[in-house]
Amino acid sequence: MPPAEQPAASLAVTARSGLRRMRERGTHERAAVEAILDDGLVCHVGVLDGTVPVVSPLAYVRVDRHLYLHGAAGNRTLGLLASGSGACVTVTLLDGLVLARAAAHHSMNYRCVMLFGTGTPVEDAQEKRAASAALLERMVPGRSALARPPSPSELRATAVVRFPIDEGSAKIRAGGPKDDPEDLALAVWAGVIPFELVARPPVPEPGLAGSLVPPAAAPNRPAGPPAP
């Protein structure tokens, strides 16, 4: 991994990362951004392939002040990132459906992060292995010590891109509906239907030895802030 640096308390605010609409929901604070990133497992990466915009879902893990984006060596988006294309990386977590009395005021509770920057391809085998192990640990703690590590050929078949967490912002929507005062007396149910990503019991692969024990628990993604 790259040497640890003391990160700024806030991400850079630029023309593209500055908050515009609903500024009261947004923040550039690094702690808030990293907390959302740490609750996710999949990001969406947007790049330009010539004049054609491309958006792809990718597995990621945060290590200090970088994201490590992981995929096949032939992945189109990772290839564009590795070649120096600027990118927008987003992570969105859905925390609930917000049902209002009026159709126009229905909404969703969410936490999201949008990052801007340029990725760096990870060529060093040791850093690549460390990033792969970090991703396994994010999936299930302790997994990297149990699974066979990648072989040299498997490493060559895997692309890893390091992306900085330096420029961007987070937005969070929490709480109930914002109905108009004249609608409060309507006989229509209003409130929040919470969402939470929950790991279900492990399903063993056929042929496993009977003595093997499944993971104690995969990490559930915590729900967002509760409705007041």
Domain ranges, ordered by start, for the chain: 23-194
Closest to 19 measured CA to CA, from 106, 98, 114, 100: 114
Mark out the alpha helices in 10-162 (DSSP H runs): 30-39, 76-82, 125-139, 152-156
pTM summary value: 0.86
Average pLDDT over residues 160-188: 95
**Which of 31-45, 93-107, 211-225 is predicted with the least confidence, judged by mean pLDDT?**
211-225
Q: Is residue 181 scored above 80 in pLDDT? A: yes
Chain centroid to Cα 149, Å, comes to 24
Q: Is residue 194 scored above 80 in pLDDT? A: yes
What integer pLDDT is reported at residue 228 of this predicted model? 43
Q: Is residue 224 scored above 70 in pLDDT? A: no
CATH of domain 23-194: 2.30.110.10
Strand partners, 193: 97
Residue with the bigger pLDDT between 216 and 153: it is 153
Locate 194 and state its tokens.
């919470």
C-alpha to C-alpha distances, 89 to 5, 22, 54, 184, 203, nearest whole angstrom: 22, 20, 12, 39, 32
Please enumerate in sequence order all residues whose Cβ is within 8 A of that of 99, keeping only pairs 6 or more positions apart, or say none. Answer: 106, 177, 189, 190, 191, 192, 193
30-44 pLDDT tens trace? 999 999 999 999 999
